[in-house]
């Protein structure tokens, strides 16, 4: 179902639950994947994903359609991730490195698909990037989003995003090619 | 940057895009229901269904509580059952007889310092007050107004003599 149709059904009280159900099924994997890449742990990603869709439920009525529905949802998910990581940092008074180390440890302990260690190394390289740069990389590399869409999500200019992505790729390849 | 077989450099372009994070089986089938449950749960916590569920017992329950409160207020309380005699009802005879009966018990330590052998020693309530004086004092205290009206300088002098105050102090306290 197209986003426009979903929104119309959502605005109608009788079909709201049905429309919302369809919306969740349409975007849940992308939202979950986006969050999971940032927070690594499944349980954390699960909680945040649910929080995102609850916020969507609460605020969809007021959605003005200035942006695409998908980028709006992604923006909520991005903010949830950043808030989560900031809270983690504040709670334990950890410097940035320790939060990334914690995520790296979780990465090590989680089961890897196909035993692909080069992929694990890639994920470790991503954890070394600043959070916003990591977001840009994930959305461009994994989600194949256009720079204009990423710009809507992050509120950053297309030029800045291109520079950020280019630098991220350089850093990652350097890391992948070191022992 | 392309992969160079001699240098074996790794390039992102040549890497397969893989999702390495495992997801529990059936997770995405259950997720929509989990979300709906949370939303319904949040709704329920803010609203009371007056027609169904526990809401229908809320009003009768509240009414019973209010009724019980007013009944409690209307009934004589337990404290009122305890007779508190007004001062007027206390007679002079009862005061004098009680004054005679008052005995303060003072532990007396024997020569053996045996604290278990506590002996009772009657002590007068007021060593300065004589028995025949008690009714006179009581007269003055029958009512506060009469007490204040009846006090004379002689009463004050007598009181002050008993308390060994000097002339200067006496002068200061005498009524003009």
- Confidence band (pLDDT; 50, 70, 90) for B47? low
Summarised one tens digit per residue, pLDDT across range A51-68 is: 999 999 999 988 887 788
Is B87 an 8 Å CB contact of chain A? no
Is B26 an 8 Å CB contact of chain A? no
Summarised one tens digit per residue, pLDDT across range B129-154 is: 555 555 444 444 444 455 555 667 77
Q: With 50 as the cut, is the pLDDT of residue B1 above it?
A: no
Q: Take residue B155 and report the two structure tokens written for it.
A: 């009463």
- Confidence band (pLDDT; 50, 70, 90) for A167? very high
* A35 torsion bin: left (phi>0), alpha (psi -120 to 50), beta (else): alpha
Summarised one tens digit per residue, pLDDT across range A20-30 is: 999 999 999 99
Question: What distance in Å separates the CA atoms of residue B72 and residue B115, rounded to the nearest whole number?
Answer: 50
Summarised one tens digit per residue, pLDDT across range A132-165 is: 999 999 999 999 999 999 999 999 999 999 999 9
User: Cβ(B39)–Cβ(A57) under 8 Å?
Assistant: yes
Predicted TM-score (pTM) above 0.80: no
Predicted local distance difference test score (pLDDT) of residue B124: 45
Q: Tokens 């004098």 identify what position?
A: B96
Question: Could A29 and B35 be called an inter-chain contact, meaning their C-beta atoms sit closer than 8 Å?
Answer: no
ipTM of this predicted structure:
0.84
Is A28 an 8 Å CB contact of chain B? yes
In angstroms, the separation between the Cα of residue B75 and the nearest Cα of chain A is: 52
B146 or A123, greater pLDDT: A123
Count of CB atoms situated within 10 Å of the CB of A48: 22
Question: Could B12 and A169 be called an inter-chain contact, meaning their C-beta atoms sit closer than 8 Å?
Answer: yes
User: How many beta-carbon pairs below 8 A join chains A and B?
Assistant: 74
Name the residue among A35, A37, A38 with its Cα closest to residue A76: A35
Give percent of chain B above pLDDT 90: 8
């Amino acid at each position: 179902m197209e986003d426009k149709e979903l929104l119309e059904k959502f605005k109608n009280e009788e079909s709201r639950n049905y429309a919302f159900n369809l919306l969740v099924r349409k975007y849940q994997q992308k939202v979950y994947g986006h969050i999971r890449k940032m927070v690594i742990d499944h349980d954390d990603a699960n909680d945040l994903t649910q929080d995102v869709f609850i916020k969507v439920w609460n605020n969809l009525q007021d959605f003005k359609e200035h942006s695409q529905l998908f980028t709006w949802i992604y923006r909520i998910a991005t903010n949830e991730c950043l808030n989560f990581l900031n809270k983690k940092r504040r709670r334990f008074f950890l410097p940035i490195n320790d939060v990334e180390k914690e995520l790296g440890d979780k990465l090590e302990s989680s089961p890897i698909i196909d035993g692909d260690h080069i992929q694990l190394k890639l994920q470790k390289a991503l954890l070394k990037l600043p959070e916003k740069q990591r977001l840009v990389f994930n959305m461009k590399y994994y989600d194949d989003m256009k720079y204009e869409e990423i710009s809507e999500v992050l509120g950053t200019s297309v030029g800045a995003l291109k520079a950020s992505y280019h630098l991220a790729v350089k850093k990652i390849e350097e890391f992948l090619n070191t022992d | 940057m392309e992969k160079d077989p001699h240098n074996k450099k790794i390039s992102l372009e040549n890497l397969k895009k893989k999702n390495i994070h495992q997801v529990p089986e059936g997770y995405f089938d259950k997720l929509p229901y989990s979300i709906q449950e949370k939303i319904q749960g949040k709704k329920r916590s803010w609203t009371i269904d007056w027609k169904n569920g526990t809401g229908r017992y809320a009003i009768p329950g509240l009414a019973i509580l209010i009724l019980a409160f007013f009944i409690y207020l209307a009934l004589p309380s337990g404290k009122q059952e305890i007779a508190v005699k007004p001062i007027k009802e206390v007679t002079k005879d009862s005061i004098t007889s009680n004054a005679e009966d008052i005995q303060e018990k003072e532990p007396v330590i024997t020569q053996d310092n045996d604290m278990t052998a506590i002996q009772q020693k009657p002590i007068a309530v007021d060593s300065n007050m004589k028995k025949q004086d008690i009714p006179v004092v009581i007269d003055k205290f029958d009512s506060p107004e009469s007490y204040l009206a009846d006090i004379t300088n002689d009463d004050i002098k007598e009181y002050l003599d008993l308390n060994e105050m000097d002339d200067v102090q006496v002068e200061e306290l005498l009524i003009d």
